Structure 1
Amino acid sequence: MENSGKERKHPKYCEKQFGHLKVPIEGWRGVHNGNVMIEGEDPVAFTDLLEYIEGDLLNELLPQVYL
């Protein structure tokens, strides 16, 4: 997965300009055996995705919210 020339570890679920998750997620295939499945993406462990949201993503977005 790529993001502005850098490889992303997680699928892209929303666009920054919207400021929220895009629902329904395009290509959504559900959660199977603990992995989030999205068409055209590698499976991502649900627990890894939650850790990413709680850690890196939240830390990146909070300064933008509280400007």
Structure 2
Amino acid sequence: MRMNRRLIILRHAHSSRDDLDLDDHDRPLDEIGLRDSPIVAREIIQRGWKPDHIFVSSSLRTLQTLENMGP
């Protein structure tokens, strides 16, 4: 039996560069990123894609992107 697999590669949502003193790893999402990440999540759901595994970096913006995409 052949099993279809799908690899979804997703970049973090739009992040802020307002605070120049922040380390790149600590940059948060901006308003656009906070608005857009749930939209991307809905699109993934509408396509019927359900990830078995999610790998995410420890940077703030990637964690916020995942969190804002929902459960």
User: Which structure dedicates a bigger proportion of its chain to helix?
Assistant: 2
Considering Cα pairs closer than 8 Å and 6+ residues apart, tell me whether 1 or 2 has the greater RCO: 2
TM-score by length of 2: 0.28
> Which structure has more strand as a fraction of its residues?
1
Q: How high is the TM-score relative to the length of structure 1?
A: 0.29
